[in-house]
Structure formats: C-alpha cells, structure tokens
Structure 1
Amino acid sequence: MDTTVTGSSEFIKVFSDGTVERFIPETAPASLDLYKGYKCKDVTIDPLKPITARIFIPTTTATATSKLPLLPVLIYFHGGGFCIGSTTWLGYHHFLGDLSATSESIVLSIDYRLAPENKLPIAYEDCYTSLIWLSQQKLTESWLKNADLSQVFLSGDSAGGNIAHQVAIRAIRDKECLVRVKGILPIHPYFGSEKRTELETKDGSAEEVKSNDMFWRLSIPEGSNRDYEGCNFEWMQVSLTEWSRFPNVLVFVAELDFLNERGVAYVEFLKKKGVKVKIIETKDEAHVFHVFHPDSESTRVLQNQMKEFIHSL
C-alpha cells in the first residue's frame, strides 16, 4: 500500500491512500459549573453526519433563565483551513466562554465535518444547518429560551470567517429561515485566489504560501482551483438584491498575519457591493492570536470590540 505523504503541517498529515492523521492539542470538557461568568454544555445538531456544538451562556442567564430579557446569539465557526480544529480545543473553549460572559450573549460554537474527508461545500452546509437547528430548538432547549432570534450574529476565525460569510448568504436566500442574521464578525478571514497577493510573492513567504495552498487543495472540490467561489469571494454569484440584504460586517485583521491583505481586500470588496462594513486591525499580533493566547490583553480588547458591535445593532 502506498502511504506517501501528500500533505503535512504541524496539525495534520495526509497520505496518498486517503488516511488522515490529526495532531490534537489540549482540549477542554464542557462543564455545567459556573466558571469565570459562564457555563457550557455540548449538544448534538445532527447525529447522522455528525454535527455537534458547544453552548456557552453567561452567569446571569445561567442563574435565572426564565426571568431575564432576550439575549443576542453569536454562532461561532472555528478555523483550521477547513481541515482541523474543534470547539473543544482549549483556546477556543476559553475564548468563547469569556466572550459569552463579556458580551452577555449566548454563544453556539459549531463542530462541522472536516476536509479532506468532507470537502467544501460540506462545511458550509453543516454550519448553515446550525441556524435551522437553533430556530427549531429554541422552544425545547432550556439554554436557548432567552435566545433572541432577531439578534443573531455569525463569527469565526480564519476558515471560520470564510464560513460566516457563506452562511450569511445562505440565510438571505432561504425564505423559510426564521433566524435573522444582524451582523457577521470574521476574524482574520481565510480567502484566496489563483492570483497571488503582494505579500505572497515576497521573499521569505514560501512556507506560508505552501501551507495555504495545501489546505486549499485538501478542502476545495475535486477539479477546482483557488478561484473556486468558496475560496475567491470575487467569483461568488450573488445578486444585487442579495447584497442589499447582506448584514452589517465587522472584519478583524492582525498586523503580523500573513492573511492580512486578504482581509483588507474582502472589506474593499464588500464596500463596492454596498455592504456596511468596518475593519479593525490589531497591532503587533499574528494570525488567530486569540486562540493561542485567550488570556492576553489583545484578546480582551478583541472581545470588547465584538461586544460593542453586537450591542450596537
């Protein structure tokens, strides 16, 4: 049997026979005990696929759910080039729990199926399923009884930021969707194209380019290239009417992130489509710093910026 390595990074190794090895960092279990202003539990969205999620609720909701006013809901999609990552990873767990407490929001963090076993658009479809699940479970899931389905926000980092964009479009197109997406908050969004950016062509960028190309090759449909519409937003077939209904957007980029130019280009693209969009750059920080350093001052600032956006709409 040929077991040549066809793709490899710090967290994943893919072999020519289709075998995939993932190197999983430290994880955190869900806990019903109050911790730093929140508690959390795991739920199943679709047992057949499977799609699961972790719900975080702030202390105020946890102590008197039925008596409190409605709270906004933030649906979060983890990053990892569509191939790795989980809401159970320790960095995501702490970041999202603290975000729930800081923003006084219900956070629903989704574990979707991963590539290369499940290539795009499966991740998009799985994550859109979470919106339908949310609307169906509100009346029966006690932790969602205070969820305000007219105040739903989509967020995610890296590939998750890409997913947030795609899910927003699906919500616009689905006339039976009961969830109203008020805004999306992509963090260091992961997009690409066959055309290289200025940073990608610079000396010293070869390793980052190689890694990005590998993740795109593993995740996009067979026969596609980096101009696949899920990768290159300029190739998406979206009507003017749909763009006019696109939610408000707050894009976060990091100064030292290799994907910084992609995030800036995404903002300029949305502006041309008439979307109300803002951008915030975090100085002296790299890609998904909030996952690697969930207790840092920069992460605290990011959480408060997200809180302000959520409560401004």
Structure 2
Amino acid sequence: MLLARRQAPPAPRPTGIAMSRTTSPASGVSGEVRPPPHVVEDCLGIFQLLSDGTVKRAPAPLVLPDDGAPLPSADAPAVRWKDVVYDEDRGLSLRMFVPSAGAGDGGGAEKLPVLVYFHGGGFCVGSFANPNFHASCLRLAAELPAVVLSADYRLAPEHRLPAAFDDAGRLLSWLRDQAAADPWLAGSADFGRVFVSGDSAGANIAHRAVSGDLSSSARLALAGCVLLYPYFGGERRTESEAACPPGEFLTLALSDQMWRLALPAGATRDHPAANPFGPDSPALRAAQLPPLLVLAGGRDLLIDRIRDYVARLRAAGHGRAELVEFPGAGHGFMVLDPDGEAAGELVRVVRRFVHGA
C-alpha cells in the first residue's frame, strides 16, 4: 500500500459571512433588520452555499509536503514529490511526483513520460493534496512509471465554469514555457511524451485540453489522452442515469447538484461545459485528436454517456479512441480505493497505453 508520511487538517478558513446590521433601539431611529443568511445548498457536508453567496467549507484532511523525501513501497520504486506554484496570480499549485529509481539520477537512465493529471470532484471539491488523490497519483507515478503533475484549479461555486478550464490552460502554458527549468523535470521528464489525464471532472478538463476548447496559446503537442470515468452531463436522461445503481457514491441527485453549482448561473446541463454534444457545443474535430484511452466502471451511472462519447468520436473518424470497462466498478473507483484490485488493473491498462503510444 502506498502511504503518505504526514497527514494533517489545514487551519480552518474564515467564512467571510456578512453580518447583519441593525439600528440601536436607544437611538430612536427605526431600521431594517436583515435576517441572517441561510443555507441554500449543502454538498455532502463538505461545503455549504449560503443565501448571501458566501461559501463555507469544512476543513479537509490533506497530505502535507515532506521535503520531497522518497516514499518507499514494498512492490514499487520510491517516489519523491513536491508542490510547485504554476500560477502566482491565482495562487494555484501542482504536485509533482517523480520516481526516484530509474530516471533522473544522473546515470543516463531513460527519461519518463509526463502525465498531466486533473483531479475530480464535480468541479466543486477536491485537491491534489486530498489523501486519496495523492495516493492515486503516487501509484500512477510508481507503477507506470511516469512523471505525474497533479494540478489544482479554482473550484465552484466560488468560481463557476469556465474558471477550471481557464486554469488548465494556464497550467499547460506553464508546462510548455517554463517546466524544463525545474531540475526535477529537466532530469526526469520526456517532453516528447506528454499525456493529459484526469478523473471525473478532471477527465472533462482533459477532454477540453485535447479537443481544442482551451486557449490555442496553451496547446502542447500531446502524445495522448487518458480519461478516467469522465464527468459529462445532459438534460436528457440516459438509461444508466435513470437506473442509478443503488449503493454508488455518485448518485443522480449529487450529479445534478454539482452541475447546478458548477455551471454558469442559469445554464442547463446541455451547456457545452457539461455536454460535449449539446445544441451549442462546437463540433469535435475527432481526426485531429491524439490517441485516446477512456476507462469507466460498468456500474457508473454515467456509463451510457461515456459509451456514447467514444462511439461518436469513432463515428467522426477518430480511429484511435479506446474504451475499457471494468464490470462491477462504479464511478470514481480508482480514487475511492487507490490500492484496490480494480485500481491495479486500471494502472496496468494505462501503462500499456502510455508506454506503447
């Protein structure tokens, strides 16, 4: 099992709730008494949206940096990791994972492919420092092996879409223009083999990175794209959504809530950010896309949308779009159980794709 050395919750953040102001009765001047703000949306107890627009987030457990020290594993090489700021203006960082053995050690070892990874969470929650996202990327780095760059981005509802897409564009620009200056990357990363990836909402971001929806100035020559159970939506219900398998983490109600909080105010789930084939979505230039690997669980309520996504790409002329399904697995299975058997098989499939592309 790949374990982080230190975990600790961050200090509570100030909520910034606006206080009601009243006129003192002693002044003899009447005034309006504003009711205190009330909860409009509560998302899994992780955050609440209040009626005045304030968002209150509960402190989350995070894996803290440990000075890049290698993390040993019984069956995988040690991985060193550190956090790097890629957008100072917005205070956004990424976590860099580099296998210690076999690359960048000054011994002439072959450099490793780069996997740019965006975490999931419905565009509303999550961070590369979350223990499960950290463990997932740690395993990917060790077992592919690859240099993994796990990036944070601004979250909704404080920053609704397209904020996350804009941040992804900035990250790719940073990687194109400045990353080679980092000694870890200069010693270990093969920039001729850059893959963009992500899980759930992060896979939606990765889709936009290869489909041309991000700023053209941010585009890299990508070797491929790996989408883990991409988070897409639409107003028309699919059969798998209507069935909504019981006992799964992602329910239809939760999916709808996160789209409601992440999309621009008043937008429907047919907005291009949610539905790549919606009425206002640009046509996908499938023939121009790099090799694409899509992985999904058979019990994922989004499985019909994911199958349709791959089928449409193939119909549009993309001959290198592959879908691999994991029977019995639900949405988010890699992150929910990073050390599980299904996660191990997922890593093996991704390894064949990345090193064979």
Same fold by TM-score greater than 0.5: yes
Structure 2 partner of 1:169 = 211
SS at match of 1:125: helix
Residues 38, 101 of structure 1: 8 Å contact kept: yes
SS at match of 1:233: coil
Structure 2 partner of 1:70 = 111
- Distance in 2 (alpha carbons) for counterparts of 1:133 and 1:25: 28
Deviation per residue, 1:154-174 (Å, 9 max, x gap): 111110111100111238872
In structure 1, what residue type is equivalent to 2:341?
Answer: E
Answer 1 or 2: which has greater helix percent. 1
SS at match of 2:137: helix
User: Aligned in 2, Cα 1:244/1:4: closer, same or farther, shift over 3 Å?
Assistant: same
- Give, in angstroms, the shift of residue 3 of structure 1: 2.5
Residues 119, 198 of structure 2: 8 Å contact kept: yes
In structure 2, what residue type is equivalent to 1:279?
Answer: L
Residues 158, 288 of structure 1: 8 Å contact kept: yes
Residues 103, 307 of structure 1: 8 Å contact kept: yes
Deviation per residue, 1:31-90 (Å, 9 max, x gap): 311113211000001121122100000122666157333321100000001000000010
In structure 2, what residue type is equivalent to 1:218?
Answer: L
Residues 185, 250 of structure 1: 8 Å contact kept: yes
Correspondence 1:213 to 2:256: yes
Structure 1 partner of 2:130 = 89
Partner of residue 270 from structure 2, selected from 223, 227, 239? 227
- Give, in angstroms, the shift of residue 214 of structure 1: 1.1
Query: Which has the larger displacement, 145-154 or 56-65?
Result: 56-65
Within-5 A mapping of 1:16-35: 16-31=51-66, 32-35=68-71
- Distance in 2 (alpha carbons) for counterparts of 1:106 and 1:222: 37
- Give, in angstroms, the shift of residue 25 of structure 1: 4.2
SS at match of 2:269: coil
Residues 122, 231 of structure 2: 8 Å contact kept: yes
Residues 240, 303 of structure 2: 8 Å contact kept: no
Residues 293, 299 of structure 1: 8 Å contact kept: yes
* TM-score normalised by L of structure 1: 0.92
Deviation per residue, 1:164-212 (Å, 9 max, x gap): 00111238872x557311211111110011111113334878x922211
In structure 2, what residue type is equivalent to 1:212?
Answer: S
Within-5 A mapping of 1:272-311: 272-275=315-318, 276-311=320-355
- Give, in angstroms, the shift of residue 113 of structure 1: 0.4
SS at match of 1:265: helix
In structure 1, what residue type is equivalent to 2:212?
Answer: R
- For structure 1, the residue ranges without an aligned partner over 5 or more in a row are none
Name the Cα RMSD after superposition. 2.1
SS at match of 1:311: helix
Structure 1 partner of 2:25 = none
Structure 2 partner of 1:252 = 295
User: Aligned in 2, Cα 1:41/1:227: closer, same or farther, shift over 3 Å?
Assistant: same
Structure 2 partner of 1:191 = 232
- Distance in 1 (alpha carbons) for counterparts of 2:41 and 2:234: 19
- Give, in angstroms, the shift of residue 138 of structure 1: 3.1
- Distance in 1 (alpha carbons) for counterparts of 2:214 and 2:243: 39
SS at match of 2:301: coil
Correspondence 1:155 to 2:200: no
- Give, in angstroms, the shift of residue 20 of structure 1: 1.6
In structure 2, what residue type is equivalent to 1:30?
Answer: P
Partner of residue 48 from structure 1, selected from 74, 89, 94? 89
Aligned residues: 309
Structure 1 partner of 2:142 = 101
SS at match of 2:136: helix
Query: Which has the larger displacement, 117-126 or 61-70?
Result: 61-70
In structure 2, what residue type is equivalent to 1:259?
Answer: L
- Distance in 1 (alpha carbons) for counterparts of 2:244 and 2:229: 22
User: Aligned in 2, Cα 1:65/1:192: closer, same or farther, shift over 3 Å?
Assistant: farther
SS at match of 2:292: strand
Query: Which has the larger displacement, 17-26 or 93-102?
Result: 17-26
Residues 103, 112 of structure 2: 8 Å contact kept: no
Task: Give % identity.
Answer: 34
Residues 244, 252 of structure 2: 8 Å contact kept: no
